[in-house]
Amino acid sequence: MGIEVIVEGLTKSFGTQNVWQDVTLTLPPGEVSVMLGPSGTGKTVFLKSLIGLLKPERGRVLVGGVDMVNSPERDIYEARKMFGLMFQDGALFGSMNLFDNIAFPLREHTRKKEAEIRRIVMERVDMVGLLGAEGKLPGEISGGMRKRAGLARALVLDPQIILCDEPDSGLDPVRTSFISQLLIDLNAQIDATMLIVTHNLDIASTVPDNMGMLFRRELVAFGPRELLLTSDEPVVRQFLSGRRDGPIGMSEEKDEAALAREQLNGRELPAAPRRVAPQLEPSPGLPPRQAVQRRRARVLAMWDQLPAATREAVQAGLVPAQGESA
């Protein structure tokens, strides 16, 4: 099973430019979470901070007893092996075929023999649907196939936490739907904790158990997917509706005068949707996701703290356990 990731008071700047501050959240073990936000809000920076590739100025990231911000470098290096990272562009070596790209972490970080490496690589190749393409170079395959190869490489060290940086970027809607299903199928098979950074609304509305959103250098919200999908928060509603009217502008945020003009002209954001799209289920033949029942118990435990619209959406999507009502 995946492990819990606890983020406490995380703050990151580049020089005088504050990226985000005081970010606090918990990625529940084995569940799929999504981090949304307009371009330029530091979503990729957040991923790299979780894995210790960037060093925040303040805060902690606790993973299996290791603080990925403040622990000694050798401890961070060891803890990093619990992560699998899927980069935006796949980050494949152009001169290596897919097999060697996917085998690279095993050859770098383990002492496994080539026969064992071949077995593991081919298992992962099969898992992401690339059997028969392992001998091709990255330049000989489509962008979607490169994404899947990057995901296969992220899986070879059996990570307990998988971080995906915009797995949909550069893909058409059909390929994006295939990637969405693949992420759910992987979670069903390996029960890893997953965090997906995206601004794709289809992924956000159908894939995760939990959603968060970064805006104006802070975490707007993080919680069960239904909490954001039924939110009345103006920035969340604007982002999820894809409208120009609202706090988000071309350069991230609008000034007060622009917002006042929109209100004066009666350009109101639509009401938050009360019907939440069903979450994707694993493909036929795969086991049910173990995270579903864990999440169910966790959400019901926070029931009294959830807004009425969120409770209504959760209740509509709950599958009762045998012998009990939702």
Task: With beta carbons less than 8 A apart as the criterion, state whether 243 and 270 touch.
Answer: yes
Within the chain, strands assigned E span 5-14, 17-27, 32-36, 58-63, 66-67, 83-86, 161-165, 193-197, 210-215, 218-224, 248-249, 252-253
- Report yes or no: 62 and 3 within 8 Å, Cβ to Cβ: no
Q: What six digits make up the tokens of 71?
A: 């622990």
In a domain, residue 107? The reply is no
pLDDT recorded at residue 324: 42
**Could you count the other beta carbons within 10 Å of the beta carbon of residue 164?**
27
pLDDT digits (tens, 9 = 90+) for 11-42: 999 999 999 999 999 999 999 999 998 888 89
Given CA atoms 84, 86, 87, 92 in this order, what sign does their dihedral have? positive
| 53 within a domain of the structure (yes/no) | yes
Bridge-partner residues for 164, per DSSP?
86, 196
145 part of a folded domain: no
- Stretches where the chain sits below pLDDT 50 are 264, 320-326
The token duo for 66 is 């290791």
Q: Are the beta carbons of 84 and 187 closer than 8 angstroms?
A: no
Return the pLDDT at 158.
93
Residue 24: what pLDDT?
98
Residue 284 lies in a domain: no
204 in a structural domain? yes
CA distance 157 to 278: 32
Number of domains in the chain: 1
What per-residue confidence (pLDDT) applies to 319? 54
| pTM of the complete model | 0.89
Distance CA 19, CA 16 (A): 9
Task: Tell me the two tokens of residue 288.
Answer: 């049910």
**How distant is the alpha carbon of residue 166 from its chain centre?**
8
In 142-282, DSSP assigns E strands to 161-165, 193-197, 210-215, 218-224, 248-249, 252-253
Provide the CATH number for the domain around residue 52: 3.40.50.300
- The reported pLDDT for the residue numbered 320 is 47
Q: How many whole angstroms separate alpha carbon 208 and alpha carbon 33?
A: 5
Whether residue 321 lies inside any domain: the answer is: no
Place of tokens 């009217």: 245
Residue 29: its pLDDT value, please? 97
- Does 205 reside within a domain? yes
DSSP conformational letter for 305: G
How far apart, in Å, are the Cα atoms of 102 and each of 81, 190, 211?
A: 15, 18, 29
- Tell me, what's the pLDDT at 2? 87
Asked if residue 102 belongs to a domain, the reply is no
By residue range, what is the domain housing residue 196?
5-96+150-264
DSSP state of 231: -
